[in-house]
Structure 1
């Protein structure tokens, strides 16, 4: 089996304004806690916090949001037999093409009919994995579930998925002569 993906797309979470805001606020809070309590030895209001605890809370808050900001990404890969989405936050989703009933490009907004989840696993019939785009490849599974894989280049993603999906479909039954 070929292990190289036929198609690969990387979408960075840092392009999301709320994610950027959370990273900046978390980092500033962590370093403020380290400086205010750890270095200056001051209390936070009426609460006296031990230096070791301020450092234990402040350093991870000052460093982890920055690491997440630069490293978190959603990676979509199309292989010959499956579609793999590494969500960057909760792991990965694998959709084998032998379970797929239909593939099409979805261009209109998804907010009314998709459960947009990047965090957590939810059993639902329609799930979208997106970062910024509401467009992407819509895969309908044989059991009725639907997945929208968001893409900045939805036509390219859909073409790659459709080509790989068609390649794993059983040949049509030939009429007997």
Structure 2
């Protein structure tokens, strides 16, 4: 891939999805409460308290690491003159050459019904990369596979892909 500047760039973060962060931070708050009460305060929790080591492990993973991971996790979509790059840090780093794309369509979709939710989802010849919302750009590849790129600005994303296509000819 060249160092051409992107024609389009969109970053979507899980920390911008209020209900996800409410769940993540709620779980973290419970772990912090257990840590403070049992480890710092020395008061065992419940009739059959967990060992201090287990409290420390749960606190570390669900009170510290899990929230930090969700603050860091994001989806990056870039359109460059030669390809579309999809990065779902840290899981996916996919490059889709423009020559593999047969059709582009900005559309409204149903993440739960069509793909089983948000994230990296799909089955068969369909996959979605999304964080939130129900709008995006669906790419149909020359081999029949379809890729949905979730976007808050689907018209702009599709326009950038068309511009990149036009620049190739």
Mark yes or no: TM-score above 0.5: yes
Mapped to 2, the partners of 1:122 and 1:8 lie a distance apart of 23
Larger C-alpha radius of gyration, 1 or 2?
Answer: 1
In 2: Cα distance, 1:113 partner to 1:48 partner? 42
User: Over aligned residue pairs, what C-alpha RMSD do you find?
Assistant: 2.5
> Contact 2:7 / 2:80 at 8 angstroms: preserved in 1?
yes
Give the whole-Å Cα distance in 1 for the aligned partners of 2:113 and 2:46.
47
Bigger mean CA deviation after superposition, 71-80 or 119-128: 119-128
Deviation readout 1:135-168 (Å, 9 max, x if unpaired): 2222100111111211111111111112213434
8 Å contact from structure 1 (residues 136, 154) kept in 2: yes
**Runs of at least 5 residues in structure 1 that lack an aligned partner in the other structure:** 172-177
Q: 1:131 to 1:111 in 2, by over 3 A?
A: closer
Q: SS state of the match for residue 10, structure 2?
A: strand
When the two structures are aligned, how many residues end up with a matched partner?
Answer: 168
How many angstroms apart in 2 are the aligned matches of 1:142 and 1:63? 44
1:85-110 superposed Cα distances (whole Å, 9 cap, x missing partner): 2223632332221111111221x333
**Scaled by the length of structure 2, what TM-score is found?**
0.83
1:67-82 matches, within 5 Å, as: 67-82=68-83
Residue in 1 that maps onto 2:100: 99
Which structure carries more helix by proportion? 2
User: Which consecutive unaligned segments of at least 5 residues does structure 2 have?
Assistant: none
**By how many angstroms is 1:76 displaced?**
0.9
Q: Deviations over 1:117-148 (max 9, x none)?
A: 65457542222222223222221001111112
Q: Which residue of 2 aligns with 1:40?
A: 41
